[in-house]
């Protein structure tokens, strides 16, 4: 074991034991139980045989910019969330090693906002439409039970808007910071009779840390509730996000990163790489208590997302009559339904909860490709080179059970059957460009079984096992290898088997402790074949294995002094060798990846720690630090982003003046001005792997709210 690895392992242990032991005799506030809904019924998190964390909205917002969900997810064990400083590509989120290969958006992890999918039926998701200013809480589910959400469920992240409560309230906030960051936000909430509402809107602008990384984003969210009677609740959720401008600085190669991390590759400015996007969606949820034992929930949603992205594809490559061009234009219309029945009964003297449901999701995509030049002018939409209509749908059925068959023993089980269908109709049949219409279908039956032993109220032991699967997304199917036209329908779904064992303890004087060991084995892993200019092709490799340990600890003293630690060790490797492309251009795979290489884009270890004094009124502040090990950037493991430690601090004050609540804070990130890669672009064919993180930055925010 290397000296660095020994240091990390000891740090994980000391960071948990030392704070607890040193402060065990202090005036300790009893931590309240955490209630979650990740298994589709409300239950204390400690009673669920799975790794699950809940972040409250106040925790998510405390001393933060409230721009990206990645700001707070780093405090969850097993989650690697990276702000790429690139709003043309969204944040990178991986859970226990799933999702790291995504070149943009979030894949391999299921996303939900107020119970409405933010992951499309093909497994590709994004979460830019969340207004963090109105978030009530976030739940993060990891491990085998994630498979009960269907396709691409390496983990599940659910965001819930706060529920309407109390008299009408309106609030405003202004946040400014380094590199031209400016966020203007407003929220309103309240209840009146049987109606309630929470609405929020924000405008975010930044000049960007790097050259050619300016961005503008507008958000609007609304959650309306109505109780027609004491047994029913209707919730309407609507949101809109517009990204009228997001420059794409691309990645940097090693020499560029070492010389000028704020710079860009010349191709970014030559082709004016950029993205614009707009999305509007709405959903309706009807919940009805039929009897004391039976509940019904019906959910429907629909939405539209439009995207236009300019890439740095050389004009020479686009000269081929078979090339799809360097501008991607997508228009996506999607919708879905979910019907769920819950039955609470008893079996052999113990409580039994049964949940059964069906889910249907549908996506229609109009994909077009254009040349990213017109004559001698580069970075503009030119001639049409691709035109097709794609459709994806899934039909799922699921059944779950939770049975407490003795006071100390509980059993959770579930079964989900998923069927995902892809179809493509080619409308661009010109010259030698053939008709590339086609279709494919994937199906899987996903069982999960978990058992929990509770010797006393403070201690819970559990073990869980299950199967999962992951289909390729439309973006991964979009390009065939070797410059061939049409969709890559030869890709197969990846299959996985996961097992986990853990303990959850909540002991006075020591706080709340969770620990889990896990292993996931996959077959037909989907891996990058080639990735150039923001365009990737994929293939199926053989088997992989992800083995790891997660530890989380939190406590509070004197009611307001809070501390938290989250640590993860992950060993993710290819178990079978395969061949891939060594660079660009590449018509045939020409590089052998040996068995035993590490899966790129994943840190072998992360450690997060924070301490804060966070009363609801008065002075408040905190410090936090994060350590991330080195991350390989390609399957060949020939280069890596170096390990780094970064720290941050924030301080502020909240004041109550009659009906007014006034607050403000300042924050400094990367206190010691470290130079490091905040994220990497896995297997980038030109060697432009590195996306630099900012140096020392500052942030200042003021807010005001009034209750009527």
Secondary structure of the chain: what % helix, strand, coil (to 5)? 10, 55, 35
pLDDT over 90 at 322, yes or no: no
Model confidence at 154, in pLDDT bands (50, 70, 90)?
A: confident
pLDDT over 80 at 8, yes or no: no
Write down the domain spans for the chain. Answer: 3-707
Pairwise CA distance, residues 179 & 253, whole Å? 23
- The mean of the pLDDT values for the chain is 90
b vs e for 416-433, b when ≥16 Cβ sit within 10 Å of the residue's Cβ? bbbbbbbbbebebeeeeb
Pairwise CA distance, residues 465 & 133, whole Å? 37
Instruction: Report residue 430: phi and psi, to 5°.
Output: -130, 125
The residues, any chain, with a CB within 8 Å of residue 520's CB and separated by 6 or more, are 96, 97, 496, 497, 498, 499, 545, 546
pLDDT at 684: 87
b vs e for 253-282, b when ≥16 Cβ sit within 10 Å of the residue's Cβ? beebbeeebebbbebbbebebbbbbebbbe
DSSP for residue 89: T
For residue 336, what are the CA distances in angstroms to 112, 116, 125, 153, 301?
A: 13, 9, 15, 18, 5
pLDDT at 112: 93
462 membership: H or E segment, kind and range: strand 459-470
pLDDT at 31: 56
pLDDT over 60 at 26, yes or no: no
Contact 342, 295 (CB under 8 A): yes
| pLDDT tens-digit readout, 354-405 | 999 999 999 999 999 999 999 999 999 999 999 999 999 999 999 999 999 9
pLDDT over 50 at 12, yes or no: no
pLDDT over 80 at 580, yes or no: yes
pLDDT at 534: 58
- Whether this prediction's pTM lies above 0.75 is answered by yes
Instruction: Report residue 453: phi and psi, to 5°.
Output: -115, 125
Range with lowest mean pLDDT among 115-129, 527-541, 645-659: 527-541
From the number of C-beta atoms within 10 Å of its C-beta (0-12, 13-18, 19+), residue 658 rates as exposed
3-707 folds as: Maltoporin; Chain A (2.40.170)
| pLDDT tens-digit readout, 288-316 | 999 999 999 999 999 999 999 999 998 98
Model confidence at 153, in pLDDT bands (50, 70, 90)?
A: confident
Model confidence at 35, in pLDDT bands (50, 70, 90)?
A: confident
pLDDT over 80 at 582, yes or no: no
**Percent of the chain residues past pLDDT 90, beyond the cut:** 75
Pairwise CA distance, residues 390 & 375, whole Å? 30
The residues, any chain, with a CB within 8 Å of residue 657's CB and separated by 6 or more, are none
Q: Looking at per-residue confidence, does 589 or 551 come out higher? A: 551
Q: Looking at per-residue confidence, does 454 or 32 come out higher? A: 454
Count the residues in the chain. Answer: 708
């Amino acid at each position: 074991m290397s000296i660095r690895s020994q240091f990390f392992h000891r740090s994980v242990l000391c960071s948990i034991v030392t704070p607890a032991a040193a402060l065990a005799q202090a005036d300790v506030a009893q931590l309240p139980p955490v209630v979650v809904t990740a298994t589709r019924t409300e239950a204390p998190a400690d009673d669920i045989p799975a790794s699950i964390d809940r972040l409250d909205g106040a925790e998510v917002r405390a001393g933060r910019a409230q721009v990206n969900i990645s700001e707070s997810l780093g405090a969850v064990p097993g989650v690697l969330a990276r702000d790429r400083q690139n709003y043309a590509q969204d944040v990178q989120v991986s859970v226990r090693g799933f999702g790291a290969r995504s070149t943009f958006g979030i894949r391999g992890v299921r996303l939900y906002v107020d119970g409405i999918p933010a992951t499309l039926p093909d497994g590709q998701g994004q979460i830019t439409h969340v207004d963090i200013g109105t978030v009530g809480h976030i739940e993060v589910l990891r491990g085998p039970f994630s498979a009960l959400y269907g396709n691409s469920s390496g983990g599940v992240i659910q965001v819930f808007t706060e529920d309407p409560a109390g008299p009408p309230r309106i609030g405003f906030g202004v946040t400014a910071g380094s590199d031209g960051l400016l966020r203007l936000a407003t929220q309103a909430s309240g209840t009146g009779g049987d109606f309630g509402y929470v609405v929020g809107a924000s405008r975010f602008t930044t000049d960007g840390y790097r050259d050619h990384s300016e961005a503008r984003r507008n958000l609007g969210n609304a959650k309306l509730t109505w109780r027609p009677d004491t047994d029913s609740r209707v919730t309407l959720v609507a949101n809109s996000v517009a990204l009228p401008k997001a420059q794409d600085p691309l990645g940097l190669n090693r020499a560029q990163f070492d010389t000028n991390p704020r710079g860009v590759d010349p191709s970014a400015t030559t082709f004016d790489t950029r993205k614009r996007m707009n999305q509007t969606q709405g959903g309706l949820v009807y919940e009805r208590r039929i009897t004391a034992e039976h509940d019904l929930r019906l959910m429907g949603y629909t939405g539209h997302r439009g995207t236009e992205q300019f890439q740095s594809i050389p004009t020479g490559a686009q000269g081929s009559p078979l090339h799809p061009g360097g501008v991607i234009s997508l228009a996506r219309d999607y919708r879905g339904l979910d019907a769920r029945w819950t039955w609470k009964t008893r079996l052999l003297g113990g409580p039994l909860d049964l949940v059964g449901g069906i889910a249907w999701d549908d996506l229609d995509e109009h994909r077009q490709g254009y040349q990213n030049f017109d004559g001698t002018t580069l970075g503009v939409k030119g001639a049409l080179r691709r035109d097709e209509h794609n459709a994806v749908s899934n039909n799922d059925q699921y059944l779950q059970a939770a049975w407490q068959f003795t006071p100390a023993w509980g059993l959770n089980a579930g079964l989900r059957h998923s069927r995902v269908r892809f179809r493509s109709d080619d409308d661009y049949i010109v010259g030698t460009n053939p008709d590339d219409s086609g279709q494919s279908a994937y199906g899987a039956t996903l069982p999960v079984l978990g058992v929990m032993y509770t010797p006393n109220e403070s201690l819970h032991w559990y073990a869980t096992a299950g199967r999962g699967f992951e289909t390729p997304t439309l973006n991964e199917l979009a390009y065939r290898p070797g410059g061939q036209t049409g969709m890559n329908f030869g890709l197969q779904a990846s299959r996985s088997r996961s097992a986990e064992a853990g303990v959850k303890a909540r002991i006075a004087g020591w706080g709340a402790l969770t620990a889990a060991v896990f292993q996931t084995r996959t077959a037909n892993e989907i891996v990058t074949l080639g990735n150039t200019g923001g365009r990737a092709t994929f293939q199926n490799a053989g088997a992989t294995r992800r083995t790891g340990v997660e530890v989380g600890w939190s406590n509070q003293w004197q009611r307001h002094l809070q501390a938290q630690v989250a640590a993860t060790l992950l060993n993710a490797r290819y178990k079978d060798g395969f061949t891939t492309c060594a660079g660009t251009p590449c018509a045939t795979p020409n590089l052998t990846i040996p068995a035993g290489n590490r899966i790129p884009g994943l840190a072998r270890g992360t450690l997060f720690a924070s301490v804060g004094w966070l009363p609801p009124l008065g002075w408040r502040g905190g410090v936090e630090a994060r350590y991330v090990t080195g991350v390989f950037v390609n399957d060949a493991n020939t280069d890596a982003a170096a390990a780094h430690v970064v720290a941050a601090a924030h301080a502020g004050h909240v004041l109550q003046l009659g009906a007014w609540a006034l607050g403000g804070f300042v924050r400094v990130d990367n206190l010691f001005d470290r130079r490091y890669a905040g994220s990497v672009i896995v297997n980038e064919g030109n060697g432009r792997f590195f996306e630099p993180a900012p140096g020392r930055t500052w942030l200042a925010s003021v807010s005001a709210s009034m209750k009527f």
